[in-house]
């Protein structure tokens, strides 16, 4: 396992290098001059001298390859530059906001699993019954509802009309409920559908029918035998969704003013804050890749007979 982890970590180098090139290049494909956008957002007059001064201060007057190499050299020293909006170091801003995003994402994952696991298992065990129909209806509705619409709906009822939860900010567990629910609903819908499909297929296998024929009741057969095998592809989607959750948190954090990476990214994008956007995207890419590595390692826990692949010394 040790050699496999080292093998995978070596593969992260070209992946992250490609991500850095794409991240750096996409910012230059956006329309408009970043200096002009920044001046307008700050309410300053847009003059040729002011634009030229910002270009020189930000290094935008140099060739793009030189700008990229300069930026990459700073990144390798964990220096993402200074935010144009707040004036604080981007690395410090990311470090201070990452725990909030991880907390929100972790709670959303817990909510999603709490909803999807019983729904998926019930739908598979009672397939083609009213229980299955109700579970599939929830999964379809959860996947179809846009995050921003669900967020406004929750604010309208649970905050404005009933006053149960605050609409923005942080500080208590009550601030977590609404944004975490917004993120969890879509995840729970996809998790439940996938678990139902995998578990239904597993329950039709010969060894499950043999276990039932030997007199085992339904509950231990599902929980001890079928569910464990059905969770292997489920874990793959779970790992991918962890990365997608970082991007999806932008909408929820912006609507609920949750002080995480998503809110920071939203504010940075609105004024073309180059250093902040580049730093956030790169950090999110690293988190996504590491999440997928953890998913691969979790396969061995679910099924010790699986081999990791190249570099697996077990």
Q: How confident is the model at residue 135 (pLDDT cuts 50, 70, 90)?
A: confident
The pLDDT of residue 299? 65
Per-residue pLDDT at 274 exceeds 60: yes
Rounded to an integer, the average pLDDT of 44-52 is 83
Comparing 309 with 190, which gets the higher pLDDT?
190
Per-residue pLDDT at 281 exceeds 60: yes
Q: Residue 224 has which token pair?
A: 């001890």
Rg (CA), the chain: 24
In a domain, 307, yes or no: no
Domain containing residue 115: 90-302
Residue 189 near residue 108 (C-beta atoms within 8 A): no
Please write the tens of the pLDDT for every residue from 185-225.
Answer: 888 888 888 888 888 887 777 777 777 777 777 777 777 76
The pLDDT of residue 309? 54
- With 0.85 as the threshold, say if the pTM is over it: no
In a domain, 68, yes or no: no
Q: How confident is the model at residue 1 (pLDDT cuts 50, 70, 90)?
A: low
In a domain, 170, yes or no: yes
In a domain, 44, yes or no: no
In a domain, 175, yes or no: yes
Per-residue pLDDT at 33 exceeds 60: yes
Q: How confident is the model at residue 303 (pLDDT cuts 50, 70, 90)?
A: low
What's the total number of domains in the chain? 1
Rounded to an integer, the average pLDDT of 289-300 is 72
Cα(107)–Cα(109) distance, rounded to whole angstroms?
5
In a domain, 55, yes or no: no
Span of 5-9, 43-47, 273-277 with lowest mean pLDDT: 5-9
In a domain, 53, yes or no: no
The CATH number assigned to the domain holding 244 equals 1.10.3720.10
In a domain, 26, yes or no: no
Mean pLDDT of the chain: 80
């Amino acid at each position: 396992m040790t050699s496999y982890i080292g093998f995978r970590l070596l593969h992260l180098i070209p992946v992250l290098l490609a991500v850095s090139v794409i991240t750096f290049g996409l910012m230059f494909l956006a329309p408009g001059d970043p200096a002009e956008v920044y001046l307008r957002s700050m309410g300053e007059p847009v003059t040729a001298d002011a634009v030229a001064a910002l270009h020189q201060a930000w290094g935008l007057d140099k060739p793009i390859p030189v700008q990229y190499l300069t930026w990459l050299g700073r990144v390798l020293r964990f220096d993402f530059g200074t935010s144009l909006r707040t004036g604080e170091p981007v690395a410090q801003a990311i470090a201070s906001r990452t725990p909030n995003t991880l907390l929100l994402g972790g709670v959303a994952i817990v909510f999603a699993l709490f909803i999807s696991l019983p729904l998926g298992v019930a739908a598979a065990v009672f397939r083609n019954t009213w229980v299955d129909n109700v579970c599939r209806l929830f999964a379809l509705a959860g996947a179809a509802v846009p995050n921003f619409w669900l967020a406004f709906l929750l604010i309208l009822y649970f905050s404005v009309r009933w006053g149960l939860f605050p609409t923005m900010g942080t500080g208590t567990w009550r601030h977590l409920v609404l944004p975490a629910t917004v993120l969890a609903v879509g995840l729970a819908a996809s998790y439940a559908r996938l678990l139902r499909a995998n578990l239904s297929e597993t329950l039709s296998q010969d060894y499950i029918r043999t276990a039932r024929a030997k007199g085992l009741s339904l509950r231990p057969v599902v929980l001890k035998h079928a569910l464990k095998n059905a969770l292997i592809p489920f874990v793959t989607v779970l790992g991918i969704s962890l990365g997608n959750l970082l991007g999806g948190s932008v909408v929820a954090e912006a609507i609920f003013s949750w002080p995480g990476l998503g809110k920071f990214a939203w504010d940075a994008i609105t004024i073309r804050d180059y250093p902040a956007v580049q730093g956030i995207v790169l950090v999110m890419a690293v988190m996504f890749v590491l999440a997928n590595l953890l998913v691969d390692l979790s396969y061995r826990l679910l099924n010790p007979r699986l081999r990791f692949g190249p570099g697996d010394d077990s």
